[in-house]
Structure formats: C-alpha cells, structure tokens
Amino acid sequence: MYNFSYQKVSSVADAVEAMQKSEDGKFVAGGQTMLPTMKHRLASPSDLIDLAGVGELVGISVDEETVTIGAMTSHAAVAASSEVQDAIPALAKLAGNIGDPAVRNRGTIGGSIANNDPAADYPAAVIALGATVTTNKRDIPGDEFFIGMFETALAEDEVIVSVSFPKAGTAAYMKFENPASRYAIVGVFLVKFIDGVRVGVTGATACAHRGMRLEEALNGSFTADAIDSVELPIEKMNADIHASAEYRAHLVKVMTKRAVEACA
C-alpha cells in the first residue's frame, strides 16, 4: 500500500475540517474494507482520517419508535446488543452473520453503508426498514442513500453520524452467502408493516434496492406462493464466477419466500 498521512480526530467537526484540508483524504472506520482496498492499490488516499476516537459516533439507543445506531458501532456490538435483539431481532442477526468474529469486532455500520458494496448486508436492512441515515449535514432517507455500485448520496466531506431504524413491523433477513467471505450472493430483508410490506434486496444488482415487484405481490397475498409469478429483470442482475444472472434472480425469489415464511 502507498504511504499516506494518518491522523486521529476526536470530534465530527475536526474530522470534517481535516478532510477539507487534505488533498485527497478518506475517512477510516473499522478499516476492514478500506485497508484491503489500499493494499490492492484500488485506493491511495493522501490522508487517512480515523474516526475511532470520536466518542459521539459510538453506541446504540432505543426509544418508543426507533433504534439508533452510531456510525462507529461495530457489527459485534450490534449483534450482541440485547436492546437490538428485542427491538429488531432480524437486524441483530444480520450483524452477527457479517464476515467472521474478527471482522465483526472492527467493521462498523457506518463503514458498511458508506462503502455500499453490492453484496453488503446492512444496505438491505436500511432500505427495507425505511431507516434514516443522519450525517453531519442532513437526514437522508434510506431509499435515497444508495445510488450505485460503491456509490452513495454522501459528499466527500460528509460524515455518517448514525442510522435510525423504525421498530415497527415484523422482519426477517435471509442470506444466501458466499461460503468463503459470507458476503451475500443474494440477501433479502423483508418487513411486514401494518400498512404493507417492504423488501430490500442486496447482492443481486449494482447496489441494494427495493424489491417493488415482490412487494406488490406480497401486498396482494402475503404467502410464499405469491412470489412464484413475479418476473424479475434478469438483465439487471449481477453475474460472476459465484452465480449467473438467472441464478441470482432465482435466489431472490427463494430468499424472499423464506423470509415470508419466517415472518408469517
């Protein structure tokens, strides 16, 4: 990896200032994506601004309606949180199945959604639950956060502060995982709200998206069979050595059916 200048900051304001002063800086959270990317020389920032010392970014709080998770909260902390397990068990389970224990001890929710890997788990939950991403500048609705492959609505000097998930609804996350990395070949996060169903799909396309056709079918009849007649756009599906586009389309339906059964 090319050398860079590292600095640790202790507040969001300092992080933003350091970023604005840097030539081509990057924030680092858990580093579980950033450092491998730099080793491959796919990124070579001039500066790495470490958010690990920013206390205000860590922690989980729960009120009547929402579970709010600080951007620097590790996957391990979310998985082990009894508050998250009680309020949105599917979210705790999702966090507990990211990568492996050592990755979960370092990797953070902010890093995961900022990175927006097409196969990452959290984005499916952010979309399906209709979460809100709070940054130092604004609140971004989950539906508008993920723009394209590794691309989000964030500006260069924008820091994710927290993600707020509504507690309402019954949720399930089903992942067909890559057995080596545990990334999602396809993952489906399904939430049954009182007034309808929301589905977040990851792994299948350039980035996580809402499964509108799946939602439509399930709002008609909340049964696994309702998924059979849904036609998914194969031309938009990812294809790689792990799974063809046709196979991914098939997996989206299978994972959705399993999620329906888990929520029924």
> Would you tell me which residues interact with ligand FAD (CB under 6 A)?
26-34, 36, 51, 71, 98-99, 103, 106-108, 110-112, 114-115, 117, 120-122, 154, 159-160, 181-183
Contact 215, 198 (CB under 8 A): yes
CB-based contacts of 189, cutoff 8 Å, min separation 6? 90, 94, 124, 125, 127, 128, 129, 171, 172, 173, 199, 200, 201, 202, 259
Nearer to other proteins, 2 or 63 (CB): 2
| Residue 48 binding result from ligand FAD, other proteins, none, given CB thresholds of 5 to 8 Å by partner type | other proteins
| Residue 159 binding result from other proteins, ligand FAD, none, given CB thresholds of 5 to 8 Å by partner type | ligand FAD
| Residue 85 binding result from ligand FAD, other proteins, none, given CB thresholds of 5 to 8 Å by partner type | none
Residue 192 — φ and ψ, nearest 5°? -100, 100
Written as six digits, the tokens of 62 are 């729960």
Figure out which of the listed residues 39, 137, 138, 236 binds other proteins, where binding follows CB under 8 A: 39
Residues numbered 63 to 82 that lie near other proteins (CB under 8 A) are: 76
State how far the Cα of 245 lies from the Cα of 127, in Å rounded to an integer: 22
Written as six digits, the tokens of 33 are 């994506």
Contact 182, 104 (CB under 8 A): no
Number of residues that make up the chain: 264
* Interaction between residue 21 and other proteins (CB under 8 A): no
Per-residue binding string, other proteins, 110-149, x by CB under 8 A, is ----------------------------------------
Nearer to ligand FAD, 124 or 172 (CB): 124
